[in-house]
Amino acid sequence: MSTELQLIDTIFFSDKRKNLLLLLKDGPKTIEEIKKGLKVSSSPIMAQIRILLKEGMLVQKGDSYCLSVKGKLIIPKMEPLLATFQVFDENHDYWARQNLRTLPPHLLDRIGELGSCKELLPERTHIFDYPPEIMDPLYKSRTVTEISSIFRPGYPSLYLDLAKKGIEVSLVLERQICERLISDYRADVKEFLNMENAHLFVCDQKIELASSIVTDRFISLSMISKEGRYYNHEMISFEKSALVWGQELINYYKDLSEQITQI
């Protein structure tokens, strides 16, 4: 097991080399394109290029540089590793505290795609509400879906309001939450279901996450801790890759759910 694996040093312990490799992943680049892409000057980056050429990670073709076969085998492993580490590093204590197995396994393996995240904690004035910061992006969204295993104060008023603004909204709720919604807010739910752009789904499987909101602008997660505790928060990301990840999360639970069209 204890091989030296010196390449690790070459790859990871220089940001310049790391970024250069990731840049070349998208295809061959000339020195001018590299300088522009990494915003660096010629001589320092040439030194790094020479090191990577020597290690066999790059090859030179004419006046451009590209990943070697070796590079092409390694970089696809390096990228998810770096992305995962970055997500954990940015909010280390949060991820260490949460029960990560509440995420579907195939999406947990791609947690790096969440990219740069920020935890929103509502102040005391909104302690039981959605953090006010998400209202603006929420109302600017074209589609909004929330999956949830907890009863949140936005049901159904917030979603009714979003729907009335012409936003395509879907609620995917665990069975008991959905039942409470229907029994406590019968008239509102009827109005909701009568709208063409509002959809309600009931999930008979356990939704392990507390909740997640996915829109065409952002994704936010609200998770349960390892001890099974919950506090009101949103872990939010606006990155493109996170939106794709979120869409898959939604689809995963939608596939386990049935749509309710009338009550």
Interface residue list for other proteins (CB under 8 A): 1-5, 7-9, 12-13, 56, 68-70, 73-74, 76-78, 80-82, 84-85, 88-89, 92-93, 95-96, 98-101, 108-109, 111-112, 226
- Residue 91: CB minimum distance to other proteins, A: 10
Closest CA to 110 of 80, 85, 89, 87: 80
- Residue 161: CB minimum distance to other proteins, A: 37
- Residue 15: CB minimum distance to other proteins, A: 11
Choose between 97 and 175: whose C-beta lies nearer to other proteins. Answer: 97
- Residue 79: CB minimum distance to other proteins, A: 10
- Residue 246: CB minimum distance to other proteins, A: 18
In angstroms, the CA 91 to CA 89 distance is 6
Going by their DSSP bridges, the two strands 211-215 and 219-222 should be labelled as antiparallel
Going by their DSSP bridges, the two strands 198-203 and 168-174 should be labelled as parallel
Choose between 64 and 99: whose C-beta lies nearer to other proteins. Answer: 99
Residue keyed to tokens 């696809």: 76
Strands (DSSP E) along the chain, which ranges? 29-30, 58-61, 64-67, 117-120, 143-148, 168-174, 198-203, 211-215, 219-222, 234-237, 257-260
Choose between 7 and 263: whose C-beta lies nearer to other proteins. Answer: 7
- Residue 150: CB minimum distance to other proteins, A: 21
Choose between 13 and 128: whose C-beta lies nearer to other proteins. Answer: 13
Choose between 81 and 263: whose C-beta lies nearer to other proteins. Answer: 81
Cis, bond preceding 137 (omega within 30 deg of 0): no
Q: 15-27 b/e with 16+ CB inside 10 Å = b?
A: ebbbbbbeebeee
In angstroms, the CA 144 to CA 163 distance is 9
Counts for the chain of helices (H) and strands (E), in that order: 12, 11
Choose between 18 and 217: whose C-beta lies nearer to other proteins. Answer: 18
